[in-house]
């Protein structure tokens, strides 16, 4: 087996996030599911966009956010995702490449626009996401570069993208390519609604030994296992997944890897501004430690530090120098 040339290659939604503050009344007025992620069509997207106040537009998407964090830490990364030949598509491609991430997926015509996520942030820092998947849900398996997948230590898959049929086929092909090359496959469950729709698929992948690293929060853990007891659910997953990582917001994070248990508290923060991307950046910190064979507790700590940086400001991409931040926190 040849040595990998990339640390992490990820497949995910190629989305431009539009983020705006709002009050609780607007959440209710617009009929939004506070703190959740709701899929919408183009008409609903236009309606909500018109209702937003002054907004910040940044390239996003869960897996792309994770890669942005990894690249900022010094990891070598590549992204696979579908954009259209339109303004948002060009913005996304520019942003991700400017971050030092390889992105070579061919664009498609603009008949279906590049995906957008409209994020309303309430004063308590909770983000309510409303996503128009657009072109991202039409990522074909033929767009994958099997050699690039085989050249990465870890293939990282975004659960959100499992919902549309075409990228689901692409991710199954990517899993096969990674496993044939002896690489690790990491999967993030993304949201409880994804588990409600595709939990049987995820449980089958786990039972078949296709997932090496699984990321979840405590609500997704309960939805996947059907167990209310947190520790019982964690132990159950660890029977079939070599590395299970579960975040619990202010309660910190837990992981089991190779039979070793670890827990770290959440990093202290003066004020939670926006939780958008917290899980994505936690995964970035953890994977950065993992690909460098760091101890399990240190991997969790790296994730917690990165997540704390993200929730201290608006937007899902780091604003501080993450490498310098880790050096400061870890001494």
Q: Which of 125, 63, 98 is nearest to 273 (CA)?
A: 125
Distance CA 66, CA 157 (A): 11
Q: What pTM did the predictor assign?
A: 0.90
Is the pLDDT reported for residue 85 higher than 70? yes
Whole-number Å distance between alpha carbons of 281 and 299: 12
Structure-token match 């064979």, residue found: 293
Distance CA 266, CA 150 (A): 34
Domain ranges of the chain: 6-14+61-112+136-330
High-pLDDT (> 90) share of the chain, %:
76
Q: What is the pLDDT of residues 251-297, one digit of tens each?
A: 999 999 999 999 999 998 888 887 778 999 999 999 999 999 999 99
Paired tokens of 41: 């069509």
Sign of torsion over alpha carbons 17, 23, 29, 34: positive
Query: In this structure, is the dihedral angle defined by the CA atoms of residues 165, 168, 172 and 178, taken in order, positive or negative?
Result: positive
12-28: buried (b, 16+ CB within 10 Å) or exposed (e) per residue? bbbbbbbbbbbeeebbe
Residue 170 pLDDT grade (very low, low, confident, very high; cuts 50, 70, 90)? very high
**How confident is the prediction for the chain on average, in pLDDT?**
93
Which tens digit of pLDDT belongs to each residue from 196-237?
999 999 999 999 999 999 999 999 999 999 999 999 999 999
- Is CATH 3.40.1190.20 the classification given to domain 6-14+61-112+136-330? yes
């Amino acid at each position: 087996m040849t040595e990998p040339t990339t640390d992490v290659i990820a497949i995910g939604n190629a989305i431009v996030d539009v983020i705006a503050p709002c009050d609780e009344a607007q959440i209710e007025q617009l009929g939004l599911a506070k703190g959740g992620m709701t899929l919408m069509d183009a008409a609903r997207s236009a309606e909500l966009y018109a209702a937003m106040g002054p907004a910040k537009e940044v390239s996003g998407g869960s897996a792309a956010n994770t890669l942005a964090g990894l690249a900022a830490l010094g990891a070598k990364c590549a992204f696979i995702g579908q954009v259209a030949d339109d303004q948002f598509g060009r913005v996304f491609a520019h942003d991700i490449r400017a971050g030092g991430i390889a992105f070579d997926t061919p664009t498609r015509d603009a008949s279906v626009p590049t995906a957008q996520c409209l994020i309303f942030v309430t004063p308590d820092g909770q983000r309510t996401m409303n996503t128009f998947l657009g072109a991202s849900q039409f990522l074909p398996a033929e767009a994958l570069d099997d050699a690039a997948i085989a050249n990465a230590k870890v293939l990282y898959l975004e659960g959100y993208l499992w919902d549309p049929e075409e990228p689901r086929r692409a991710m199954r092909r990517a899993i096969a390519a990674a496993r044939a090359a002896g690489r690790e496959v990491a999967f993030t469950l993304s949201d409880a609604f994804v588990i409600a729709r595709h939990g049987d698929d995820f449980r089958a992948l786990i039972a078949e030994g296709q997932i090496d690293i699984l990321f979840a929060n405590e609500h997704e853990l309960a939805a996947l296992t059907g167990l209310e007891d947190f520790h019982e659910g964690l132990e159950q997953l660890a029977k079939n997944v070599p590395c299970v990582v579960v975040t619990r917001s202010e309660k910190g994070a837990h992981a089991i890897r190779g039979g070793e248990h670890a827990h770290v508290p959440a990093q202290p923060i003066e004020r939670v501004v926006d939780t958008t991307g917290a899980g994505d950046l936690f995964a970035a910190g953890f994977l950065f430690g993992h690909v460098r064979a760091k101890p399990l507790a240190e991997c969790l700590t790296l994730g917690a530090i990165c997540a704390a940086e993200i929730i201290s400001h608006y937007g899902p991409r780091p604003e501080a120098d993450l490498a310098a931040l880790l050096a400061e926190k870890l001494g």
